[in-house]
Structure 1
Amino acid sequence: MGDGLPDLPPLFGPVFALREGGDALARAVALAPEHGAGCFVWVRAYARVEAAVVLEPEQPLAAARPALLAAAAAMADALAALGPPQAEIALRWPATLVVNRGVVGAARLAAPPGAAETAVPAWLAVGVEVRRALPPGVEPGTDPGRTALEEEGFDEADTAELTAAWARHLMTGLNEWQERGFARLAGRYLGWLERDPAQAGAARRGLDSATGDLVLQRPDGALTRRSLRAAVAEGVA
C-alpha cells in the first residue's frame, strides 16, 4: 500500500497512498476508528508533500494537543536534513512552516468530534502539508510571503523522501516526549520558532506542558500567553 514510499518507522502502518488531490488528514481521520495508532496516509504528488498519521494519546486532549507542535518541528527537522545548508527554516506560531521567510506549508491536527478537553481522546491525527512547487502559471515572487521548496533550492529530495523523513523525525520527537518529558518537545519546537513582531522584547519563551500554550515572559517580568487550543480552533495551524 506504500506505493514507493521509503521504509517508515516500524510502528507506522498500515500505509495508505492517495492520488493527487487527496486529503491525507481527512483520510486518516476516516481510518482512525478501524486501524488505530500508526495508520499512515500520504499523497503521491509532485507539487506538494502531504501526509498524516493516527496517534492514540494517553493524556487528556488539552495535554495531548502539542502533538501538533511535534508534527511541525518534525517537518522543520526533515527540511533541515534534506535541504540546502543555507536555507533559513523556521516555524511561525503555532505550526506554519517558513523557508527563507516565505510560507511553504503547515502542520494540522484533528481530534474526534466533541472530544472533551479533560478526557483522553480515542485518537488524534496529525498531518503536514508542504508546497514543493508553485502552481502552473504562477511566477516566483508573485506573493512574496509564500514560496515553494523548489524555489528555495530543495532540488534533491522528492516527495516520498520528504514524507518518510517527516515520519522518522516525528517518531523520534514523540518518543522523546514520552520518555524524556515535555521539556524535550518544548526545546525542539522552540528552537525552530521564529520571533514575530508580537513577541518583540520577549526575554524568555516557553510552552505550558498542560496545554501547549506559548508563554512569553518580558523583561519586566510580565507574562503573556498565546493559546494553542484557540489557534487550532481558528484554523491558524
Structure 2
Amino acid sequence: MELPTVFEPVMLREGADALARAVALAPQRGAGLLAWVGSAARAEAALVLEPELPLVEARLALLAAANALADALGALGPPEAAVTLRWPARLLVNGGDCGGLRLAAPPDAAEDAVPDWLAVGFELALSFPPGTEPGHDPGRTCLEEEGFADVTAEALTEAWARHLMAGLDLWGAEGPRRLLADALARLEDHRGIPGLRRGIDPATGALVLEREGRRETVPLA
C-alpha cells in the first residue's frame, strides 16, 4: 500500500473488524494508524485521528469520512455512477445501499472535552457471494453490480485515506463550511420536499429540518 508516511497501515485478515482493531490500538499507536481488511468481497478500513476540538464538534469527522469515501468512489468508478448519502452515514450507489461508516471515541470521553483520539471507519460491499441472484435485495447493492468491478479493497482504502486527509486539512484551515455543504449536497434524506429547509448544525453535526416555523434536529451519532 502506497501512502504518505503519516499513515501506519495495518492489514487484517478477512472477517476482522477494522474499526474494533483501530479502537484497540489507538491508545498506544495514536493518530495515523490505518487498519484495513484484505478481502475480495468487501472493503473495510478505519483510521485513528487526533482531534483538536471537543467531542461534540469533532464528530463532524464522520461526515468528513463520508465525503472522502464518496470522493474516492467518484475518482475510481464510472463517471455516471451516482454516489449519495443517507443520514447519518450510509453510502448509496445509484440508489442502493452499499455500506456505511462508523465513528468511535474513548468510552469516557466527555462531550465538552477534546478526546485523546477518534477512530472513523467504513465498510463497503465490493461483490455479492457467488450464486447471488441479481436484484435479490432491491434496497442493497455492491460496487461490482454498479460498474466498479476493477476496484479493490486496497485501492479504495488508499483513495479514501488520501481524500480524508485532504478534507480534514481543509476543515482545520477554513472551518466546517465546505465539509457540511458537500455532505448536505449528497444527502438523499428529505430531498426535494416543498417548503422544507435542510441544514447541518456546525456545533453538533445534527441534521436540521425547518418547515412552516417548525424545527426538528436529527443527531449525527
Q: TM-score, normalised by structure 1?
A: 0.89
| 1:217 to 2:210 alignment | yes
Does residue 11 (structure 1) correspond to residue 6 (structure 2)? The answer is yes
Map 1:104-183; keep pairs closer than 5 Å: 104-183=98-177
**1:188-199 pair list within 5 angstroms:** 188-196=182-190
CA contact (8 A) 2:87 2:189 kept: no
1:69-84 matched pairs, under 5 angstroms: 69-84=63-78
TM-score by length of 2: 0.95
Q: Which amino acid aligns with 2:3?
A: L
- Matches of 2:65 and 2:4, distance apart in 1: 15
What is the aligned partner in structure 2 of residue 66 from structure 1? 60
Query: How far is 1:223 from its partner?
Result: 2.3
Distance in 1 of aligned mates of 2:209 and 2:139 = 25
Does 1:227 pair with 2:219?
Answer: yes
Instruction: Provide the rounded CA distance (Å) in 2 between the counterparts of 1:49 and 1:202.
Output: 39
Q: Report if aligned partners of 2:83, 2:93 keep a CA contact under 8 Å in 1.
A: yes
Please list the CA deviations of residues 93-146 of structure 1 after superposition, one character each: whole Å capped at 9, or x if unmatched. Answer: 010000111100001111111211111111100001000001233212010000
User: Residue 101 of structure 1 corresponds to which residue in structure 2?
Assistant: 95
Deviation at 1:221, TM superposition (A): 4.2
Match of 2:81 among 79, 87, 93: 87
Does the CA contact (< 8 Å) of 1:9 and 1:167 recur in 2? no
> How many angstroms apart in 1 are the aligned matches of 2:36 and 2:202?
30
Give the letter aligned to residue 188 of structure 1.
D
What is the CA–CA distance in structure 1 between the aligned matches of 2:215 and 2:82, rounded to whole Å? 29
Q: Structure 1 residue 56 and structure 2 residue 53: aligned?
A: no
Structure 1: gaps of 5 or more residues: 233-237
The separation in 2 between residues aligned to 1:31 and 1:54, in whole angstroms, is 9
Rounded to whole Å, the distance in 2 between the matches of 1:159 and 1:97 is: 16
Q: Work out whether residues 54 and 123 of structure 1, in 8 Å CA contact, stay in contact via their aligned partners in 2.
A: yes
Shift in Å, 1:205: 2.0
Aligned residues, how many?
Answer: 221
1:70-90 deviation per Cα after TM superposition (whole angstroms, max 9, x unaligned) = 111111111111111111110
Change (3 A) 1:11 1:188: farther
SS of residue matched to 2:132: coil
User: Where does structure 1 differ by over 3 angstroms across 4 or more consecutive aligned residues?
Assistant: none
**How many angstroms does 1:56 deviate by?**
1.1
For structure 2, the residue ranges without an aligned partner over 5 or more in a row are: none
**Aligned equivalent of 1:207:** 200
